[in-house]
Every structure is written in structure tokens, then in C-alpha cells.
Amino acid sequence: MPEVVLITGASSGLGRAAARHLADRGYQVYGTSRRPPQELAGESFPLLQMDVTDEDSVRRAVAEVIERAGRIDVLLNNAGFGLAGAVEDTSIEEARRQFETNFFGLLRVTRAVLPSMRERRAGLIVNTSSIGGLIGVPFTSMYAATKFAIEGLSEVLRLELRPWGIRVVLVEPGDFSTAFTSRRVQTAASQGDSPYAGAFARSLAIIERDETQGSDPQLFARLIERIIRSRSPRLRYVVGSFDQRLAVLLKRLLPDKWFEAIIRGHYKV
């Protein structure tokens, strides 16, 4: 029987690329989106409505997949959005909304799926982090904070779930050309008379340029399939351009002040 894969945030971007690729390769894929399924007709896989910020919505969608497919073999936690603005220009409420989707949403879906995986003593959880969860990029503090948090959560989950036969993997994408760029939210204060306005505008322009010139989402989709097929997947997989993968290595090797100088130079801060 084909493996059953549940993918959150599958209506666009990396999630949709992975869902389409896996469905075309014969996997039994179920995608989720906040938008009603009838608005997303025509996909090669069924789309279920799920709001990862709502506990009941998550439980209903997970229960529906298990009812229809009998199990969930693979969970790809991919739902999320980007928030941009200086730390001082980010309200506590804006920060909470970012965490509610990117971090607590991932946690809700994971907790909903785990009981059935533990019962079967098998499963794979793939958490979409980011190179931004390894390297802080100016004016993306809350997004980076959610991804750094996912890194820590995943390390602990991998240790806790190993006795149950459940594997946990982090995928850390660099820049990809998707709708993520156009859907980024800017904090309210950053759009006013902010003392950070000039630096923010310069950095955001570079961030958006790098994203729009980024890698093909199929690179991410093919990696997800390789991870699913692996008998012993690693904890971390960095995926993206050579330059960005090199940046991750340089952060490990260089003194902090040298690496910070590279980041400041690239993002013009």
C-alpha cells in the first residue's frame, strides 16, 4: 500500500510542490489549507480545510485523514508565513500571531498525529524550518525566532520518539521562488515613520530579490521524497543554492564578528 502523507500548507509554495510531486509518484497525499477546499479544486491530491491556529480544526482534519486512509505514515509540517519589521517595530500581538501559526501550529498538528503513530510504533515527522532558523537575517526577527524554536523542538522530539519507532527530521530551505514573498506581512509600525525605515527598506529589497531569484521548489519536493525513502534519515537537511549552504557552513567555522560582517554587508545594515 502507498504511504499516507499529510502536508500542511499545501495550497501554495513548497507545500504544494511537495504534495504534487509525491502524489505523482504514487503516494497517498492529503494536503491542508486554511481556505475552503472548493476554492482549491483541480489539484492531484485531496485538500482538507485546516487552520493550524485552531485546535478543533486540526483535530478534525487529522481525524478525517485517519478515517479515510486508516493511518498517517508521514507528516510534513509546512504551514507558515513571514513577518518583517524591526524588533522595536513589532508589537507583542504581531509576534504572537507569528508564533501561533509557525510554531504552535506545527506543535498542534504534531500532537494530533502522534497518538496514532505511537500506536503503530512507526512514522516520520518532517518539520520545515529554514536557513533563517540557523542564521539571523535583519528585520525577520520573529520569523527567525519561530524557526529557531522549531529547531530545538525537533531535536527533543527526535530523542523522545525514537523508542516508538518515529523519526523526526528538519528540512532547512534557503530562498525559493514562491508566493511566500508576496504574502509576507510587514509590521504596522514599520510602515510608518520608523527610525529603522531606511535600513528596513534596503534589507527587505535584498531579501525579496534573493527569494524571487531563488531555487525551484521541485528541489525541495525531491528532497522530501528522498527523506521518506531513507531508512535512516539525518536530523538536518539544508536545501537551497550553493551560496546559502556555504553560509551555513561558514557560520559554524568563522568567528562571530567575521560572520556578522558578512551578513551586514549582504543586507546593507
Give the catalytic positions in this structure.
11, 129, 143, 147
- Written as one letter, the residue type at 184 is R
Residues 6+ apart with CB under 8 A from 257: none
| Positive or negative: CA dihedral 174, 178, 181, 183 | negative
